[in-house]
Structure 1
Amino acid sequence: MFNHLREDIQTVFDRDPAARSWVEVLLCYPGVHALFWHRVSHWLYERHWFLLARFISQWSRLWTGIEIHPGAKIGRRLFIDHGMGVVIGETAEIGDDVTIFQGVTLGGTGKEKGKRHPTIGNGVMISTGAKILGSIKIGDHVKVGAGAVVLREVPPNTTVVGVPGRVVVQNGVRVNGPDLAHNNLPDPVAQMLQCLQHKINELETRIEELEAEKKINLRSGNGC
């Protein structure tokens, strides 16, 4: 457990330029605190100490603002930046080298039994306020844009934006390591509006041409 804690602290240094010292990270980073207590509660949960596991997870939620169900399975080097409002459900599974920002929900879609929360691959970045719902799989090295609502499975090496989430393939470019450039995601809604504006401009131009042709024909008819 303490080896994981050292790795969590190093992960903060690797991905957060604001981190200054290991003491600051240990005392002031709620994501590190939440992961530490989750490992404790998860250990108890796997040994069927369900009430004590839930009690620890709820205490951690009050302390950090991050709610992780003790049944969730979390890989190595997860980085939860800020973290307020993050919710991770009971059957959620998270791979290695994942980055999660504040307000993210890995939740279910109803009262179904069994696997009902998402499975997150390796190297995934989930931006602020994104919601990933249901027993779906998010492939490796996926980027989920801020505020996106993802309800379907996402293939590896793609970007998801919008409500509902839409996949945007980035020319097959593979993401190597943690990618925190969530301010450079494409906007399919803006692209569609630009396309519609282009079509409107074409139609207006064609209407003007037809009106000009009509005036010429009328003048030719009057001259006869």
Structure 2
Amino acid sequence: MFERLVAYLDSVKARDPAPRSRWEVLTYPGVWAVFYHRIAHWLFEAELFFLARLVNHWSRWLTAIDIHPGAKIGKNLFIDHGFSVIGETAEIGDNVTIYQCVTLGGTNPTNGKGGKRHPTISDEVIIGSGAQVIGPITIGRRARIGANAVVTDEVPEGATMIGLKARSTLVPAEEWVKEFIPYGTPCDDPCEPSRDCIEKLEGELKSLRSEIEALRAEREPARRSGTED
């Protein structure tokens, strides 16, 4: 158990440059939220639903993170900061990173039965702050959900989703091989094809400005000589 705890703390430290030691990671609310969820989920599986809810209520008050006791969570989940909500039938794989104010929410089933209402998050997914992932959809392995994106459709493996309603940046997974992107949101890399078009237009604009300046310089002597005559 101690080795698993150390491995978990090291996995968090690898994704967050802020902590200087494992001890500091132990103060993170997300770490405690996952710890209390393990207890609540065990009680939930044993059909001790009221006790499971009590642990969940205490955890939510302490960490500002609400994880339903029924949610299934894999290894090394890192919830960075608080105010996130994970629904009852959500399933989360291994090495998933979730930032603040994220909702893994459910839909209202039309058949009146509970069933699978919340998303399934595959291994190594990163969900940026403020993102809303809604419904019984699957987020493919190593997908990135950008900050404030609203995702209601299936997300393929390796895709980066941005916007409201979220759309893929259409970057092929084999071209996007980075192991980790903070907040699931690329900043300096060519994540969108439109960026190439913008850079091309900026280059053409710069060239046109240079030509205009050259024409002005050629006309200026003629203008001055005309004024002198």
TM over 0.5: yes
Map residues 25-104 of structure 1 onto 2, 5 A cutoff: 25-26=25-26, 28-82=27-81, 84-104=82-102
- CA–CA distance in structure 1, aligned partners of residues 163 and 134 of structure 2: 14
Deviation at 1:7, TM superposition (A): 2.8
Seen in structure 2, the aligned counterparts of structure 1 residues 143 and 49 have a Cα distance that, compared at 3 Å, is same
Moved more, 128-137 or 174-183: 174-183
Q: Give secondary structure in 1 for the equivalent of 2:148.
A: coil
Uncovered stretches (5+) of structure 1, i.e. residues with no partner: 198-224
Kept after mapping to 2: 8 A contact 1:5/1:36:
no
Tell me the residue number matched to 1:177: 179
- CA–CA distance in structure 2, aligned partners of residues 53 and 3 of structure 1: 26
**Aligned letter for 1:124?**
V
Matched, 1:109 2:110: no
- CA–CA distance in structure 2, aligned partners of residues 187 and 148 of structure 1: 15
Matched, 1:144 2:145: yes
Tell me the residue number matched to 1:168: 169
Report the aligned-residue RMSD.
2.4
Deviation at 1:63, TM superposition (A): 0.2
- CA–CA distance in structure 1, aligned partners of residues 7 and 101 of structure 2: 24
Tell me the residue number matched to 2:6: 6
Deviation at 1:175, TM superposition (A): 3.7
- CA–CA distance in structure 2, aligned partners of residues 47 and 8 of structure 1: 25
- CA–CA distance in structure 1, aligned partners of residues 22 and 71 of structure 2: 27
Count of paired positions? 192
Kept after mapping to 2: 8 A contact 1:80/1:102:
yes
Deviation at 1:150, TM superposition (A): 0.3
Kept after mapping to 1: 8 A contact 2:119/2:134:
yes
**Aligned letter for 2:115?**
G
**1:140-170 residue CA offsets vs partner (Å, 9 max, x unmatched):** 0101010000000011011111111111221
Kept after mapping to 2: 8 A contact 1:78/1:97:
yes
* TM-score, length basis structure 2: 0.76
**1:25-84 residue CA offsets vs partner (Å, 9 max, x unmatched):** 21x2001100100001111111101110011011100000100001101111111111x2
Equivalent pairs: percent with the same residue?
A: 50
Deviation at 1:3, TM superposition (A): 4.8
- CA–CA distance in structure 2, aligned partners of residues 3 and 51 of structure 1: 32
**Aligned letter for 1:46?**
E
Tell me the residue number matched to 1:207: none
Deviation at 1:171, TM superposition (A): 2.9
* TM-score, length basis structure 1: 0.78
Tell me the residue number matched to 2:135: 134
- CA–CA distance in structure 1, aligned partners of residues 143 and 47 of structure 2: 34
Seen in structure 2, the aligned counterparts of structure 1 residues 4 and 50 have a Cα distance that, compared at 3 Å, is farther
Moved more, 91-100 or 170-179: 170-179
Kept after mapping to 2: 8 A contact 1:44/1:52:
yes
Deviation at 1:174, TM superposition (A): 4.5
Seen in structure 2, the aligned counterparts of structure 1 residues 179 and 74 have a Cα distance that, compared at 3 Å, is same
Deviation at 1:177, TM superposition (A): 3.3
Deviation at 1:5, TM superposition (A): 3.1
Q: Give secondary structure in 1 for the equivalent of 2:169.
A: strand
**Aligned letter for 1:177?**
E
Deviation at 1:176, TM superposition (A): 5.2
Q: Give secondary structure in 2 for the equivalent of 1:59.
A: helix
